[in-house]
Chains A and B, each alone.
Chain A
Amino acid sequence: AQRVTQPEKLLSVFKGAPVELKCNYSYSGSPELFWYVQYSRQRLQLLLRHISRESIKGFTADLNKGETSFHLKKPFAQEEDSAMYYCALSGGITGGGNKLTFGTGTQLKVEL
């Protein structure tokens, strides 16, 4: 069974401080992992996916298969980063990939 764990419900950091949002997953095959973000009064939207290995809005995430983790990082937090962040896993086309399994989300609050 697929499972995604985000251990922190709330993460509060000061502006300019580094940010790390934790995500661990359980999946027997090769997962596809995503980070989604929901800003206040906006819809849920894709932030980044591991397969593209890109940096979006200064955020990066590296898939660590040994630790089964996909933590989201940013070196310097900005006020506009305050939002709800969800880690999600797909089994891919060959692995029951018709659905995403979401974590419970982490609320990031960047304080001035």
Chain B
Amino acid sequence: NAGVTQTPKFRILKIGQSMTLQCTQDMNHNYMYWYRQDPGMGLKLIYYSVGAGITDKGEVPNGYNVSRSTTEDFPLRLELAAPSQTSVYFCASSVQPNQPQHFGDGTRLSIL
């Protein structure tokens, strides 16, 4: 099993550009999460989903959008990239909210 797969691994964007960070999991987990990790900081929750068709905001949702059309996929969309969104983005999934989360390798995003 691949677990949680994120693409791309690295990306450089110009200010104002848009892009979608892809996340897919093959464990049939209902719960999926997007985090960002800034240098020297812990992971902060951007959005999460409790199942297909259901999403909710986390701590730092501004500037991002998500969708969950299938159990497997949970893409994160940046509409108008800003330098403040330069970060490492992690996707995770879990079978239940209080169960351990499985993480992807992360996407390192730089906005210049």
The complex places the Cα of A38 from the Cα of B98 at a distance, in Å, of: 20
CB <8 Å contact, A43 and B58 = no
Write out, one digit per residue, whether chain B residues 56-79 have a CB within 8 A of any chain A CB (1) or not (0). Answer: 101000000000000000000000
Q: Report if A60 contacts B (CB, 8 A).
A: no
**CB of B1 to closest CB in A, whole Å:** 14
Interface residues on B, range: 20 to 34
The complex places the Cα of A102 from the Cα of B104 at a distance, in Å, of: 16
CB <8 Å contact, A90 and B97 = yes
List of A residues within 8 angstroms of B92 by Cβ: 44
List of A residues within 8 angstroms of B90 by Cβ: 44
- A93 with B98, Cβ < 8 A, contacts A43-B104, A98-B50, A98-B56 known: yes
Q: Report if A83 contacts B (CB, 8 A).
A: no
List of A residues within 8 angstroms of B105 by Cβ: 43
CB <8 Å contact, A90 and B98 = yes
- A99 with B43, Cβ < 8 A, contacts A43-B103, A49-B100 known: no
- A105 with B42, Cβ < 8 A, contacts A43-B106, A97-B97, A100-B101 known: yes
List of B residues within 8 angstroms of A101 by Cβ: 42
**CB of B10 to closest CB in A, whole Å:** 14
- A93 with B96, Cβ < 8 A, contacts A4-B42, A45-B103 known: yes
The complex places the Cα of A86 from the Cα of B40 at a distance, in Å, of: 12
Nearest B-chain residue to A90, judged by Cβ: B98
The complex places the Cα of A4 from the Cα of B41 at a distance, in Å, of: 12
CB <8 Å contact, B42 and A86 = yes
CB <8 Å contact, A104 and B40 = yes
Give the top 4 A-B pairs by smallest Cβ distance, nearest first. A102-B42, A44-B103, A46-B100, A102-B43
Query: Can you pick out 5 interface pairs between chain A and chain B where the beta carbons lie within 8 Å of each other?
Result: A4-B42, A93-B97, A98-B50, A100-B43, A102-B42
- B residues adjacent to A (C-beta < 8 A): 31, 33, 35, 40-45, 48, 50, 56, 58, 90, 92, 96-98, 100-106
